[in-house]
Structure 1
Amino acid sequence: MFIRNSKGFRPVLALGLCLILLTGLLAGCQGNGNDGDKEAGSNQQETGFKAGTYTGEAEGKEGTIKVEVTMDQADQIKDIQIVSQSETAGLGDSAIEQIKEQILTHQTLTVDAISGASETSNAMLAAVEAAVKQAGGDLEALKAGTVAKAGEGKVEQLEADVVVVGAGASGVSAAVSAADKGAKVIIIEKTAVIGGASNLSWAGKFYNSSVALENGVKVAVETEIADWIVNNHWRVDAAAIRQYVTKSGETYDWLNEKGYNTTFINFGGEQLHMLPAYETRETLLRAMLAESVEQHGGQVLTETTAKKLMTGTDGAVTGVVAEKKDGTTLEISAKSVVIATGGYAGNKEMVKESFGFEGINGGLGQNIGEGLQMSWEAGAKVPDNFGGQMLHQTLARATGNLKKEFTPYEASYPMMTAYLPNFMNVGPSGARFRDEASTLEAVAAANTSAFNGAYHLVIVSKSQLDALAAKGMTGVNAPKLPGMPPEFYADFADQFTLENPWTNAEQVFDAMVGNGDGFKGNTIEELATNAGMDVEVFKDAFNSYVEATKSGVDSEFGKAKEYLEPMGEEGPYYAVVAEINNLGSVGGLLVNTKFQVLNDSRVPVKGLYAVGLESEGVLFNDTYVGNGVGLGYAFTSGRLGGESAAAGALNQ
């Protein structure tokens, strides 16, 4: 829930995550019968659980979690085995093991979700509950217990020069640079993982880095800055843009010196720097923290959640109140506090109210906005452009379910249609809303769709599907391969060609419809009805589009003739549900070029700094339009912001 007051939106956040046990979705789980066929009541009370091993499953964040639960004759959960899961390495898989151990140790299903992995935690609990239900007995009694936290009521006090809240790319960079300037630093992270969204990302932009210049790729700085300002309608901080464009190249060398080596890519003239191998990133960031923060007497505290900022009588920020995993309250006094909490894209309600976006959160679920909330309560200004998001890839709702039945290549057919300009796109009402050539650029595709509604529909006719089945994407004259991120097609890279026929195409699209992830109609009227579109609106749009394919002239949106693929003369017709991936919120705190957080009078809140996504709103008007800027700015703002925070602390 959100309320608006003189400082703008104020999220009312339930920081203690509620457990949602999705029992109603788990019908059909079956026990394997091991000992489960013993006579009822053997060594048990009539209401007791039936000993045996039972199987349960539930949908996690990245796929199905399947478990085997063994009940013994003492009405206890004797063992839990993880049969299969595909959750995020280092976070989701760790959460599964922690939930398992808590259930076994405390013999209760009322277990707190793991910070940063609530969806995975709840799915693990639901899978175990589904298995336990098959053993009969008093399930509610098993859910009645609670897990006491050993540190509840305990208060510890710590001191530092600089406290950094959040250990993603920007937070780690801030902590390391502050420590290198001589500050004693404590960095806290509410999950067990160091690195945040940078562990999942691809590349950053460091303008005119030494390696870019060595490869003969140079950006005209003044032109870049001028174009950036104009493209954002002048509603940006020109000094902040200049700082990033002129200082980010130094960040490349700084990271390399720290052992976090990036690889230069000339991406169509853009200076992108690919991050180290995914599996090495957290280790490298932890090494940076150890060599700087810890060697200078500081601390790295994970599974520690910031609750509020401490302030003095003059309004200056003097530290952070946080809670450790065991319930212990930490009161950390500091002269400078750096907010690096990664935004609020994981808070659907907050995103909807501030930006109107209802798509997919492709970032981290733990980023729910409490860093902003704490800062606003301490006097920080809500920026005038608050609400911007980092909208990027297009997703097809059908993909996940199709992968359970088809190969990864086949399961991706619907998503690939969403990346090609050769198909008709309509909004929820059935009205066409863009030149579909927008699909050729990720940011253009994402923003045109999001502006139109919660999703859009890609219309595929029978003749087009037949052409795809016969000749692959060349059959519909696709100009190039769908511009999906590399990780989307990593499992079928050898099949990912324009010429490869779409075998089983009709079966795949029919399965999409059967799963409720798309629609089908033998006529356009039937398709409109089944998809919830306005029949007359869709008929008008469809007929106009067909006329454009025949004449070669799109008078409504100006789509190029070569992309106006004929629809054929008969059904069936399919509608693919396409949604937009939001990689993170943009902004929420107004900062100056020292990364000091400003109040309503645009004067620094003493002792408070912000880096990364929380501060990125100074670069953009209402939404992110960069390529690699998010990561490049995260590392650069962290490096520079940490130096400023250290100077502010040490010069007092």
Structure 2
Amino acid sequence: MKRGLKFMLMISLALLFTMPAAGCSSAPASSGKSGQFTGTAEGYAGEVSVTLTLENNKLTAAEATGIKETEAVGGRALKQMPEMMVAANSVEVDTVSGATFTSKAVLAAAAAALESSGMELKAQEVVVEQKMTPGTYQGEAYGKWKEGSSEGYRFGSPQIISPTRVSVTVDESSILSVTVESCDDTPGFIEEPIRRLPEKIVENQSIAVDIVTGATLTSQAILSAASSALEQAGADLKGFQTKEPRSNEEETYDCDVVVVGAGGSGTTAALTLQQAGLDVVVIEKTAKVGGESVVSTGVLAVGSKYMESISQDPASLASKEIIFEEMMEYNHWTADSLIISSYLDHNGETFDWLQTMWNQTDDPGLKTASRSGLNHGKGSHKYEVLYEDFFIPDGGTLLLETTGKQLLTDENGKVTGVLAEKADGTQVTVNAKDVVLATGGFAGSPELLDQYFHTSFYLYGMSTDCGDGMLMAQAAGAGEPQNLDPFLAEFCSNEFVDFYAGFMKFINYTGLLQLNKSGVRFYNEEYGASDPLAKGAAALYTNREAYVIFTEQDMAKLEENRGKALLTQEVIDTIPSYRDRAMVPFTTIRDEMQAAIDAGQGWKADTLEDLGKAVGIWDMDTYMNTIKTYLSYVENKNDEEFNKRPEMLYSLDEGPYYCVRIIPAIDSTLGAVPINRNCQVLRNDKSVIEGLYAVGQDASGFWGNFYYQTENTNAVTQSWALVSGRMAGEHIAVKQGKEVDWCIWGEE
């Protein structure tokens, strides 16, 4: 678009999905009814409402609300889209990049409001004459980490989070330059938005440019901060809403193997295949490599020669045989024993192989042995160097921001490649002899979560893991998921309140009283501290939600003296596997509690009876009987129901009282596509789909429970991701007539 005193913006009427006829500009205008009309639709986290003010075939005002939509993402859609509707005299406007669910809800709600009026609108050109005051302006917005959060410190962010700061220089009518001055979001995710978005804003003269896939919150923070700076300059933001042009280009690649996903499992598969002498293409949906593996810290590495070399007591390390028995007993033989056995056979050698490569880079790789595991720390760097120092220099092809859409098959059902699409719309065809699916499960798809688990979760993992691999596999004939489970996080959350950035997510670690939706206790709350994943999170998932009850005194102790304040150190020392995370300083708990109350997810009352009435969902007789029974346990220091230790039967003698609703949180899903011990994808009749493999969180059969937490296992999820990629790569290489050489530790 040319710079000038006027920006002409024609609103596109070609939407990605069909809108009701009342909003179509091709229909003749009709009078209908004037006045205010409201429509609603389901957004990302709740109901979105749009109110239109209509007068004589003109849309004079529009307002969108959705109190449960995320401020950083959905908030931009709620603000910008109504403004564009008024300017265009149409309810058919472009969606906001990165806010798909909220955008679609705004469009649907606006269409419903318009239909109820009986009025038909005729779209018009949006003409904006910018009259900005030349100069440089600064805007601020929070992205991944919110004000007061210290959670980002675990992932490499500063301990005290500041908002993302963006400088924008303008003349009277144009954006001249954009600079991201500072950003405290997670290293490894912020680099691409910082590099690309300023250039895009200037090039397109728009704050409606596409976000960087996989870095939604940081991208939205940069765009929000830039919008704020432009408003300070006197800009009419409706004139800076041009969508990026879509590409009509097509690209074709021919290779031996295409790997869909560049997370941990996709990376090891790609490197194994390439080092065997095969031509490999990797397509990755986001703008970075590593996937969910970048936030994992450790791996089970049984049989690793490297681990033996750094262990203080190598003789104490458990054998493959011992761990096999432990894992199979833990899952009660519901997992595929052949897959478990193959995983353990490849386990230690995989990490020796990886460490041999890391030793040739500036990344330390694996370090610190404990039990049968190794720790490699968080961060993207260890995966970036594997691509930068090995995969790409050795001839591999890496296509970022490229999403797999469909598997190619021949007349016999053999998979022969992948159809994909780049973020700019470029259509990609990759022809290959074999395909490896490594797309990370479907935790980012609310529809699939509801379909398979019938409940809500808060997602701590990657929102881009939307089940692409599973859906493509099923379309090619793959069987239904087996041993399908959510990969539960140890802490709790709420789908309407952001507990992740603060400390309320640790409230389940404290052992405070919890009730289910029926108003009764459902487990020994002690497990929230002693076994928060295998027992605590599992119990919460089974009941779908819980209501935590505590007193003002409990709140004050948590706020002033950390989680430890509720228990003595002597008691903590007697609780097996008590998590240090319960020792966090609950410095923001009052603000978080108020946020929960404001969102209708928290309650406060002077008496326990009034608290039950305030929550409003319980049969009061059932609730009061639960409270009466629990108070007797507290008084007698004896939990007759669940045998909770007396020290955790906290007093409820004195109010005020608080209650907060919590739900399970997940990092990903476990077991989407059925496989055999070679990671080949299976049909329902257990026959193999030729040419198709699944690894990591996409693969089923390895899991028979939410997690493996035995005497000699730890960090199994990340270990499975990396090892399964190696397993698939080895089988494909041999099948295609190549040899796979396992390294001997210390050789390069």
- TM-score computed with the length of structure 1 as normaliser: 0.80
What is the CA–CA distance in structure 1 between the aligned matches of 2:595 and 2:206, rounded to whole Å? 39
Runs of 4+ in 1 over 6 A off after TM superposition: 398-404, 481-486, 502-508, 514-517
What is the CA–CA distance in structure 1 between the aligned matches of 2:590 and 2:235, rounded to whole Å? 46
Residue type at the aligned position of 1:48: Q
8 Å contact from structure 2 (residues 180, 222) kept in 1: no
User: SS at the partner of 1:330?
Assistant: strand
> How far 1:161 moved relative to its partner?
0.9
In the other structure, the counterpart of 2:159 is none
Partner residue of 1:148 out of 226, 245, 249: 245
> How far 1:340 moved relative to its partner?
0.9
Matched, 1:62 2:145: yes
What is the CA–CA distance in structure 2 between the aligned matches of 1:373 and 1:470, rounded to whole Å? 49
Deviates more, 1:305-314 or 1:122-131: 122-131
In the other structure, the counterpart of 2:626 is 541
> How far 1:124 moved relative to its partner?
3.6
8 Å contact from structure 1 (residues 343, 372) kept in 2: yes
Matched, 1:575 2:659: yes
Cα deviations by residue, 1:608-649 (Å, 9 ceiling, x for unpaired): 11111111x212236344541111111111111111122233
What is the CA–CA distance in structure 2 between the aligned matches of 1:561 and 1:385, rounded to whole Å? 37
Unaligned 5+ residue runs, structure 2? 1-72, 81-126, 148-162, 360-364, 739-748
Residue type at the aligned position of 2:516: G
8 Å contact from structure 1 (residues 336, 648) kept in 2: no
In the other structure, the counterpart of 1:435 is 524
> How far 1:121 moved relative to its partner?
3.1
In the other structure, the counterpart of 2:4 is none
In the other structure, the counterpart of 1:638 is 725
> How far 1:557 moved relative to its partner?
1.7
Matched, 1:229 2:342: no
Matches for 1:309-328 after TM superposition, within 5 Å? 309-328=407-426
In the other structure, the counterpart of 2:284 is 189
Residue type at the aligned position of 2:649: L
Residue type at the aligned position of 2:243: T
Matches for 1:29-428 after TM superposition, within 5 Å? 48-51=130-133, 56-63=139-146, 66-68=164-166, 70=168, 72=170, 74-82=172-180, 84-133=182-231, 138-143=236-241, 145-149=242-246, 152-213=247-308, 215=313, 216-259=315-358, 261-266=365-370, 270-276=371-377, 278=379, 280-287=381-388, 290-292=389-391, 294-295=393-394, 297-386=395-484, 388-395=485-492, 412=503, 414-421=504-511, 423-428=512-517
Deviates more, 1:315-324 or 1:603-612: 315-324
User: SS at the partner of 2:488?
Assistant: strand
What is the CA–CA distance in structure 1 between the aligned matches of 2:144 and 2:493, rounded to whole Å? 16
Matched, 1:449 2:540: yes
> Aligned pair in 2 of structure 1 residues 174, 621: CA closer, same or farther (>3 Å)?
same
User: SS at the partner of 1:613?
Assistant: helix
Matched, 1:618 2:618: no
User: SS at the partner of 1:642?
Assistant: helix
What is the CA–CA distance in structure 2 between the aligned matches of 1:46 and 1:471, rounded to whole Å? 56
In the other structure, the counterpart of 1:492 is none
What is the CA–CA distance in structure 1 between the aligned matches of 2:704 and 2:387, rounded to whole Å? 34
8 Å contact from structure 2 (residues 405, 418) kept in 1: yes
> How far 1:25 moved relative to its partner?
6.9
> Aligned pair in 2 of structure 1 residues 508, 583: CA closer, same or farther (>3 Å)?
closer
Query: Taking every aligned residue pair, what percent have the same amino acid on both sides?
Result: 28
Deviates more, 1:64-73 or 1:116-125: 64-73
Cα deviations by residue, 1:73-106 (Å, 9 ceiling, x for unpaired): 5432334343553333232442254233212111
Cα deviations by residue, 1:589-622 (Å, 9 ceiling, x for unpaired): 111111111123211111111111111x212236
Cα deviations by residue, 1:105-126 (Å, 9 ceiling, x for unpaired): 1112332232222344344434
In the other structure, the counterpart of 2:18 is none
> How far 1:431 moved relative to its partner?
2.3
8 Å contact from structure 1 (residues 208, 217) kept in 2: no
> How far 1:403 moved relative to its partner?
11
Higher RCO structure (Cα 8 Å, ≥6 apart): 1
In the other structure, the counterpart of 1:22 is 76
> How far 1:244 moved relative to its partner?
1.6
What is the CA–CA distance in structure 1 between the aligned matches of 2:538 and 2:234, rounded to whole Å? 50
> Aligned pair in 2 of structure 1 residues 473, 125: CA closer, same or farther (>3 Å)?
closer
What is the CA–CA distance in structure 1 between the aligned matches of 2:190 and 2:137, rounded to whole Å? 23
Deviates more, 1:330-339 or 1:467-476: 467-476
Cα deviations by residue, 1:392-441 (Å, 9 ceiling, x for unpaired): 2214569997999xxxxxx63x44442123x2122344322210121121
What is the CA–CA distance in structure 2 between the aligned matches of 1:323 and 1:242, rounded to whole Å? 37
What is the CA–CA distance in structure 2 between the aligned matches of 1:597 and 1:51, rounded to whole Å? 61
User: SS at the partner of 2:197?
Assistant: helix
User: SS at the partner of 1:436?
Assistant: coil
What is the CA–CA distance in structure 2 between the aligned matches of 1:219 and 1:530, rounded to whole Å? 53
What is the CA–CA distance in structure 2 between the aligned matches of 1:179 and 1:242, rounded to whole Å? 25
What is the CA–CA distance in structure 1 between the aligned matches of 2:540 and 2:229, rounded to whole Å? 41
What is the CA–CA distance in structure 2 between the aligned matches of 1:236 and 1:474, rounded to whole Å? 38
In the other structure, the counterpart of 1:5 is none
8 Å contact from structure 1 (residues 186, 293) kept in 2: no
> How far 1:219 moved relative to its partner?
2.3
User: SS at the partner of 2:673?
Assistant: coil
> Aligned pair in 2 of structure 1 residues 620, 50: CA closer, same or farther (>3 Å)?
same
8 Å contact from structure 2 (residues 164, 221) kept in 1: no
What is the CA–CA distance in structure 1 between the aligned matches of 2:366 and 2:664, rounded to whole Å? 28
Residue type at the aligned position of 1:174: A
> How far 1:329 moved relative to its partner?
2.3
Cα deviations by residue, 1:2-48 (Å, 9 ceiling, x for unpaired): xxxxxxxxxxxxxxxxx95626579xxxxxxxxxxxxxxxxxx9953
What is the CA–CA distance in structure 2 between the aligned matches of 1:399 and 1:137, rounded to whole Å? 33
> Aligned pair in 2 of structure 1 residues 372, 472: CA closer, same or farther (>3 Å)?
closer
Residue type at the aligned position of 1:177: T
Matched, 1:480 2:572: yes
User: SS at the partner of 1:207?
Assistant: coil
Cα deviations by residue, 1:288-343 (Å, 9 ceiling, x for unpaired): xx435642x33222232222222112111111222334433222211111111111
Residue type at the aligned position of 1:480: I
What is the CA–CA distance in structure 1 between the aligned matches of 2:329 and 2:526, rounded to whole Å? 23
What is the CA–CA distance in structure 2 between the aligned matches of 1:223 and 1:427, rounded to whole Å? 38
Cα deviations by residue, 1:464-504 (Å, 9 ceiling, x for unpaired): 44555786656533533997987x69xxxxxx58xx9x889
Residue type at the aligned position of 1:390: F
User: SS at the partner of 1:602?
Assistant: coil
8 Å contact from structure 2 (residues 264, 293) kept in 1: yes
8 Å contact from structure 2 (residues 482, 672) kept in 1: no
> Aligned pair in 2 of structure 1 residues 248, 566: CA closer, same or farther (>3 Å)?
same
> Aligned pair in 2 of structure 1 residues 298, 66: CA closer, same or farther (>3 Å)?
closer
Partner residue of 1:554 out of 635, 639, 649: 639
User: SS at the partner of 2:451?
Assistant: helix
What is the CA–CA distance in structure 1 between the aligned matches of 2:559 and 2:728, rounded to whole Å? 54
> How far 1:539 moved relative to its partner?
2.2
8 Å contact from structure 1 (residues 165, 171) kept in 2: yes
In the other structure, the counterpart of 1:29 is none
